[in-house]
Structure 1
């Protein structure tokens, strides 16, 4: 019993302090997702326009969560979670959205965000599975190749540009 309490405290404290968690659902790759810790679970919002994708996080399913160190970026703890999708308009949804809204950065619609989330997004709770314990640390490198994307880099900087910008500052 003591080990379970210590594991629960470790999961909660590490997840609260981390800005991102790495989540892998039943399908799809592991993804870095922003979250809020509230009432014993990690809350996520996504799968809508302008929000993070939540692939493989189906209601009633499970997920594996890896928490990274905020300062060093290394793995602190891993844990298994039960995925619970919150229905829009319910008391649990309202409480979750109130917490998420305060932490959402760079939202385009500000005060209209909860209404948009109710129409177009999913709000998900990742509840730590009691008794599952924390995941053992991996011995190897946890780096993964980047996910495929349509984004491209711009062309190389023209060779004369640094000189041109340097002259502008002096003058």
Structure 2
């Protein structure tokens, strides 16, 4: 049941929560292809720190209702520009890429020039975690510190607002 569940979840995946080592999981755009997920990251694309250099990753996939249905370990394989796998997969990925500027060939050439990582995630031979063994908690983490904070100001009032007396 779980291998069929993993295969079906991968087929329908458009986004997956991928974690590498002890880092928090990131929601990344993925492309399903032949029972694996293909992820693009790098300059000008989505950020996936550590994924390109990792050997394994943990992938969380959602079901039709949007909730978590399976957690699977995956083997990470980075595709090298100019290889047979790159020449086959990168153009398909470029064709699926939304809001991209330029043609598919231009995108693939830019990815190769700028060092973007095209990574294939293949489910490992380990047993995936599915219902009823899924975690009961939400999996939400505390917000990370960021310098992108805006100081909270008092609201602007054009006229003086009088307080009601009781």
Counterpart of 2:25?
30
Which whole-Å CA distance do the structure 1 matches of 2:97 and 2:68 have between them?
A: 24
1:109 aligns with 2:106: no
Aligned to 1:53: 47
Aligned to 1:168: none
Q: Determine the C-alpha separation between the residues in 1 that align with 2:78 and 2:6.
A: 21
Q: Cα offset for 1:69?
A: 2.8
Normalising to structure 1: TM-score of the pair?
0.77
Q: Take 1:158 and 1:126, find their aligned partners in 2: how far apart are those partners? A: 51
Aligned-pair distance for 1:77?
0.8
**What residue in structure 1 maps to residue 136 of structure 2?**
139
1:43 aligns with 38
SS of equivalent to 1:35:
strand
Shift of 1:27: 4.6
The structure in which a higher percent of residues are helix is 1
Structure with greater Cα Rg: 2
Q: Provide structure 1 residue ranges, at least 5 long, that are not aligned to the other structure.
A: 1-5, 161-171
> For 1:84-163, what aligned pairs fall within 5 Å after superposition?
84-111=77-104, 112-120=106-114, 121-130=116-125, 132-135=126-129, 136-151=133-148
Shift in Å at residue 28 of structure 1? 2.6
Q: Would the alpha carbon gap of residues 138 and 109 (structure 1) be closer, same or farther in structure 2, given more than 3 Å must change?
A: same
* Matched residue, 1:73: 66
